[in-house]
Structure 1
Amino acid sequence: MRIRNASLVRLFYFGLLTTSFVFIFSSGSQLLAESQRSERASERAEFVMLRSYFPLQTGYRWVYSVERAGGGLGWEVKVEAEESVSFLRSYHRLSGYFGPNDSRRVRATLLGNVVERGKDGKEYLWYQFNAPVGKSWEMDIAPDNAPACEDGATLTIGARDEVVSVPAGEFRHVIRVDHIPRCVDAGITREWFAPGVGLVRRESTSIAGAVVSELVYAELGDIILPKSVYSTSLLLSSPTYGHNLMPPIDPSKVARVQGTFVVRNQTEGPAELLFPSACVTLQLEVRDAEGKLVLQKLPEIVCPAIVLKVDLAKQPLVVPFSLVLADKDGKPLPDGSYSLTVVLLTSVPHETLRPAARAPIQISSAH
């Protein structure tokens, strides 16, 4: 009886040992698999991060201010279209990056490189965002009207984790790229790239002295920079308007939009608007279905040149307006679909930062 019980005990412990081994092996395999998945996820996140230093999507737009001796105009970069050359490879048409008339086909690779496709079908290397600090390479621009001072410049990763503040916001984990241009007295000297945003600051040199460009506004899909502390709304008397064109035509029967533009503070902190004069004025624009400007109304009154400050923390700013839907010659706008844009003329460094709102309107007349 004792022998049989001993056998049962040994069998019990053997089964327990086997089960434990299977459990430990299974748990170890699961941990290894989880670790591998986590590692792959981390690698994918790193790839996404590297590509995001030069984001390219059709419709993306960046606006930069310029500081230089004697003043300077801002400049704009747009992603206008995507062109596929194969099933796995496509390029985006990038305009304005090296100048107002500059247009090039570029793509950002998974490894963090930015390359241009020339008319000869070859790829030319611009940036290596995966490179470590201190790594240098030569900027190679396609020979189709390449900017002389930038093509062949020596680029070096100067830093990988800077914090940069520009009018469009404060950005972290910024990569700084140092340039040695081919020209002695002209060319880009340093650039800063923020993840998910792209170029946020550029320093250049010219015969007239230093030139500094900073990002003031960006449209990146659903993301608009800078993130506003206020919200705007456009309230119209009706979405549809009609002219009374029954003969004889009475100019007073031309359709008129009655509306209200409202600006509210959407934070718990203070929010102020500054105006260059003692008046709060609006700019009104009407565009047709193709985006063509067909009507613009600017302020008609002259106000004292006194800086006016409006505190949105106390109450919303409400500005009523009226607009006759006729061109400068008094001719009624044709029936069709339009968009009405209202811009509040505040004191800001760039017009794209002014509070604005847009609403669709329809004109349908009685004949």
Structure 2
Amino acid sequence: MKRWYFTLLCLPLLYACGKPAADDYFPLDKGLRWEYQVTITQPHRAESKTLTIENVATESVQDTPTTVRRTSDGTDYYIARTEDGLYRIAKRTIVELVPQRDATPRMVLPATVRQAIGKTWSNPSMPYLIERVFEGNDEITAGSLRFPMTYTLTSVNETVSVPAGTFTQCVLVEGQTELSLYADVRKGHSLVPITTREWYAPGVGLVKLVRDEPLDTDIYKGGTMTLELMQFTD
């Protein structure tokens, strides 16, 4: 069985220490820390884990200033601010000595988010939940399947309740795509709708994420992943 894992594009800038600005929807002040509860629900099982993210340093990647965001699994994400938005430009896993630059910068949020309703962009993605029912090395478990996902900033006035509290004036970013997959011998190839919804609160950042990869066949199982903020430390 494939071991599930989670990567924030995203998941997804101020360089001084201190309390983040009230209108910053993705604060990168050094020392900020987020603790999330991540729940996976699939037709054949359910599990949960705690994920933490912390802004640990500022660092230049090929002469581009970035903030380094470190997850509890030891992965570093390098985020840069440009005139038109926030971008992830590099990533370093726990087994890598230096960050690996993304082939194309991945937008996290556009600039001036409250004026960007309706804006769309595209980032590469991959299945996070679809897994083979029986042991075997295929394109899903090997993590080699990539596809573009289209994101749209659809709302700037969401109210979201999570364990950390209730947040108002959140922006909502929705992503969607379709994955063509050989489901089983009866259905043949199927189009699997994959969607992501991300809520960002002012002065806090990401407070909730829901990823849906609905699939239930004899060969593959999909599911839903929900990430909710438990604690934010500034």
1:81 lines up with 2:57 in the alignment: yes
Name the amino acid aligned to 2:209: R
- Which of 119, 124, 127 is the aligned partner of 1:135? 119
TM-score, reference length from structure 1: 0.39
- 2:89–2:106 contact (8 Å) kept in structure 1: no
Residue 215, structure 1, aligned to residue 229, structure 2: yes
Q: Which runs of 5+ in 1 are unaligned?
A: 1-47, 142-146, 221-367
Residue 150 of structure 1 contacts residue 188 of structure 1 at CA under 8 Å; is this kept in 2?
no
CA contact 1:108–1:114 (8 Å) conserved in 2:
yes
Q: After superposition, give the CA deviation of every residue in 1:153-178 in whole Å (9 maximum; x if it has no partner).
A: 11001101111111111111100000
Q: Deviations over 1:136-188 (max 9, x none)?
A: 111258xxxxx877863110011011111111111111000001146465866
CA contact (8 A) 1:181 1:187 kept: yes
Aligned length: 163
Residue correspondence of structure 1 range 317-356 to structure 2 within 5 A: none
Candidates 196, 218, 224, aligned match of 2:203: 196
Q: Aligned-pair RMSD on alpha carbons?
A: 3.2
CA-CA distance at 1:101 after TM superposition: 4.9
TM-score scaled by structure 2? 0.58
The answer as to 2:121 corresponding to 1:125 is no
Between 147-156 and 63-72, the greater mean CA deviation after superposition? 147-156
Distance in 1 between residues matched to 2:145 and 2:172, nearest whole Å: 19
1:169 counterpart letter in structure 2: G
Judge conservation of contact 1:166–1:200 (CA < 8 Å) in 2: yes
Q: How does 1:152-167 map to 2 (within 5 A)?
A: 152-167=148-163
Alignment of 1:169-180 (within 5 A): 169-180=165-176
Within 2, Cα distance between the matches of 1:159 and 1:213? 19
Superposed displacement of residue 120, structure 1: 4.7
> 1:164 and 1:121, CA in 2 relative to 1: closer, same or farther beyond 3 A?
closer
Q: Counterpart in 1 of 2:138?
A: none
- Structure 2 CA distance for aligned equivalents of residues 140 and 153 of structure 1: 6
8 Å contact kept, 2:178–2:192: no
TM-aligned CA distance change 1:123 to 1:83, over 3 Å:
farther
Q: State percent identity of aligned pairs.
A: 26
Structure having the higher helix fraction is: 1
Kindly indicate whether the alpha-carbon contact (under 8 Å) linking 1:192 and 1:199 is maintained by their aligned counterparts in 2: yes
Structure of greater Rg: 1
Match for 2:34 among 62, 70, 74? 62
Return the alpha-carbon distance in structure 1 between the equivalents of residues 107 and 233 of structure 2.
23
Aligned-residue offset at 1:127: 2.7
SS in structure 1 of the partner of residue 56 of structure 2: strand
Partner of 2:182 in structure 1? none
Q: Take 1:167 and 1:190, find their aligned partners in 2: how far apart are those partners? A: 18
Unaligned runs of 5+ in 2: 1-20, 91-99, 126-142, 180-190, 214-220
What SS does the aligned partner of 1:54 have? coil
Aligned partners of 2:163 and 2:25: how far apart in 1? 19
Give the superposition deviation at 1:211: 1.8
Structure with more of its chain in strand, by fraction: 2
Aligned partner letter, 1:195 = P
Whether the 8 Å contact between 1:185 and 1:205 is mirrored in structure 2 is: no
